[in-house]
Chain A
Amino acid sequence: MVNFSETILWVLYIASLYFTIFWILVFLSSRKKFIKERNVSKLSKFPFISIIIPAYNEEVAIESTIKSVLNLNYPKDKLEVIVVNDGSVDNTQKVVERFIKRNKNNKVKLINQENQGKAKSLNNALNVVNGEFFACLDADSFVQRDTLKKMILTYHKYNDKDLVIVTPAMKIKKPKNLVQKLQRVEYFVMMFVARLMSSIDCIYVAPGPFSLYKTQVIRDLGGFDEHNLTEDQEIAYRVQKNHYRIKQCYNAYVYTGAPKSIPTLYKQRNRWFKGGLFNIIKYKKIMFNKEYGDFGMMQMMMNAFYFVLSLFAVSLFGYYFIWPFLKGIRNFYLVGFDWRPYITDIINFELKFMNINVEKVFILISVLTLSLIIFFIAHRNADESIKKHGTIYLFLYFFIYYIGLGIIEVIVLFEYLIGKRQKW
């Protein structure tokens, strides 16, 4: 009795298994190349670099953000800071002006504009950037002192004129509550996956905080897309489309602020996924296009397929867990919520081994085991230990967080289908 849901389940299983195995193969063949940039002292050539700080109502954090940039382990005369005040209604402008007045020997500029969003801020700054490279740093993000040098080392290491973006390895800044701690785990996995994608030139997002761009090429490509929900993803797609390369600097750690509550997390992810969907559609011609190598043949397909996968996964989750759960509640209602007769059932609980579908369980276990392996490697790669942070998040991450993300993807898919657009 192979029914519809059964077929979907098989597709889901096989596809997840295939993708997981694919990434493990990538890992096995490229792990020796995961050399972290350690000898920052060996760096001898220091290209001029501009750091753009877009700020909207950041009067509290802006000064310390500027200071943290100026405090980077990099020659002061090779560094400029461009603060873009995106129509703040607080004292951001005054705070920055005062800072510039007091620190005249540092190159800090201020651009004031009406509130026009982040992409516009970046483009306005891009017009005046003097650096050979530029990076952008949000006021809520924090960069380790050596990060910039490490990223420049990465540029030197590849010595490739087509390498135009080096992405950092992002971590969550001081995760406090459960929502943030789950994201911390997620960022480790994303960092690791980005590492794998980097090795086969498949990176499709240049994270907003502190990706280091080659100024001239980004200008030639027309700057950032001001009408895109996720301009940091769009620029990466555009760079890929023009056959330039993006690499991750494996240990250039950047710490970024993360949503603290479920509603803010939902809003962020809804924007990310929607932006992702729009960009897949915008660059659909890359998909299955041999000209684009693994990026076209595998990564684009995977990006698109994850939406379908999440749709399957969420409906199956509903079918196999939510529906029986609701049915259980209804049955409980039928007997007037009298639980006493069922105590013996719980005591005499026995797993009916013969009723378990071994094939499904076997593949589920395979996928879980492989994911766990990836998970452990991801921690090691991020220079973090699982023991230190507790394994409880691992389980929550696997069994609850994923489903939550899947549900958001499904919502995004539906919103897209009924034509609901969203502004940044």
Chain B
Amino acid sequence: MVIQRRISWKRYLLAAILTAIIFSFGLTLGMLLDEERSNWAKQINDEQIINYESLQLQYLYLSTLENESCAVMNAALEESVYELNKALNDLLGYKEETSFEEYDFTLIERNYLLSNLKYWLFAEKTKKICQSDMVTILYFYSDDCLSCPDQGVILSYFKKKLDNKLLVFPINVDLEGQEYIIKILKSQYNVSNEELPSIIINEKTYKGVVQKEELGEILCELFENSEIC
């Protein structure tokens, strides 16, 4: 006895079509948004350039004045470095989540790196002119260094705790092929790619992850006002 059992081919097909429709709708939405996102990334980048310009103009102006302008200068510096790091973090988060071509980001990342270094130089000068009670840290890391995220966590902890007293300038050594300045800094501070993460505090190089307690002690010694420790 041959029994013909029903196969609802039409239903399989219809389900497949509906799935494809919903799926491609989502995909289109994503693609539209991807374009939106890259515009947004570019815009952030442009903003950063303008920010830097305005900060530099401020610096030029402020450096002609006497020391009483330091409060203004510090505030401007703090604001800009905060914005810069936030934008960089957003960018990295976005980079993780997207399927966008990589080189677009390299350009923007390079821009952030250069801005960071400019701010660093500016911060060092401000420190000297204003005798501000603040500490700057150069933070060398790379994308494939396993213990770097740990150092990042500890640094951002202190950044949050000390607020405007501490300025952290991250440097991604993966970009050294494009930016010669990284090589210069590395040789000046005796940093090698095998010993990442490395941080530079007050001209001194610390290799490997500096734990919370140790970093706390180092920072405390550098602040004139030791109450914050």
- Which residues of A approach B to under 8 Å, CB–CB? 1-2, 14, 17-18, 21-22, 25-26, 29, 200-201, 243, 290-298, 331, 334-336, 338, 340-342, 344-345, 352, 354-359, 362-363, 366
Contact = CB atoms under 8 A, between A and B. Distances in A.
Nearest to A243: B3
B107 interface: no
B61 interface: no
A17 B17 CA distance: 11
Contact of A345 (B8, B14, B160, B211): B160
A196 to B, nearest CB: 12
Contacts of B157: 334-335, 338, 341
Contacts of A295: 5
Contact of A352 (B19, B90, B160): B90
B15 A359 contact: no
Interface in B7-42: 7-8, 11-12, 14-16, 18-19, 22-23, 25-27, 29-30, 33, 36-37, 40
A362 B22 CA distance: 9
B99 interface: yes
18 contacts: A14-B19, A18-B15, A18-B19, A25-B11, A201-B5, A291-B5, A294-B6, A334-B153, A335-B154, A354-B40, A355-B90, A355-B93, A355-B94, A356-B97, A357-B30, A357-B97, A357-B98, A359-B26
Contacts of A362: 25-26, 29-30
A29 B22 contact: no
Contact of A21 (B5, B15, B27, B29): B15
B150 interface: yes
Interface of B: 3, 5-8, 11-12, 14-16, 18-19, 22-23, 25-27, 29-30, 33, 36-37, 40, 90, 93-94, 97-99, 102, 149-150, 153-154, 157, 160-161, 211-213
B30 A359 contact: yes
Given A17-B23, A22-B15, A336-B213, 11 more contacts: A291-B5, A331-B153, A341-B157, A345-B160, A354-B40, A354-B94, A355-B93, A355-B94, A358-B26, A362-B26, A363-B23
Q: Which of A1, A291, A355 has the most CB of B within 10 A?
A: A355
A134 B130 CA distance: 95
A352 B92 CA distance: 12
A174 B154 CA distance: 53
Given A17-B19, A352-B90, A366 B26 contact: yes
B148 to A, nearest CB: 12
Q: Which of B37, B40, B153 has the most CB of A within 10 A?
A: B153
Nearest to A336: B212
Contacts of B22: 17, 21, 363, 366
Given A293-B6, A295-B5, A335-B154, A18 B26 contact: no
Contacts of B98: 1, 357
Contacts of A363: 22-23, 26
Nearest to A342: B160
A200 B14 CA distance: 16
B154 A334 contact: yes
Contacts of A292: 5
Nearest to B151: A334
A316 to B, nearest CB: 15
B187 to A, nearest CB: 30
A152 B26 CA distance: 48
A209 B87 CA distance: 62
A331 B157 CA distance: 10
Contacts of A200: 6, 8
Q: Which of A14, A201, A354 has the most CB of B within 10 A?
A: A354
Nearest to B160: A341
A368 to B, nearest CB: 13
A354 B7 contact: no
A1 B34 CA distance: 14
A323 to B, nearest CB: 13
Nearest to B102: A1
A342 B22 CA distance: 40
Nearest to B5: A293
A29 B15 CA distance: 13
Contacts of B153: 331, 334-335
Contacts of A336: 212-213
- What are the 9 closest A-B residue pairs judged by CB atoms, nearest first? A293-B5, A359-B30, A341-B160, A362-B26, A335-B157, A22-B15, A341-B161, A331-B153, A243-B3
Q: Which of B15, B36, B94, B212 has the most CB of A within 10 A?
A: B15
A331 B15 CA distance: 45
Contacts of A366: 22, 26
Given A25-B15, A336-B212, A363-B23, A294 B5 contact: yes
A355 B29 CA distance: 14
B95 to A, nearest CB: 8
Contacts of B97: 355-357
Nearest to A289: B5
Contacts of A293: 5-7
A259 to B, nearest CB: 34
Q: Which of B25, B102, B213 has the most CB of A within 10 A?
A: B25
B37 A354 contact: yes
B154 to A, nearest CB: 6
A334 B212 contact: yes
Nearest to A356: B97
Contacts of B37: 354
Contact of B11 (A26, A341, A342, A356): A26
A2 B8 CA distance: 35
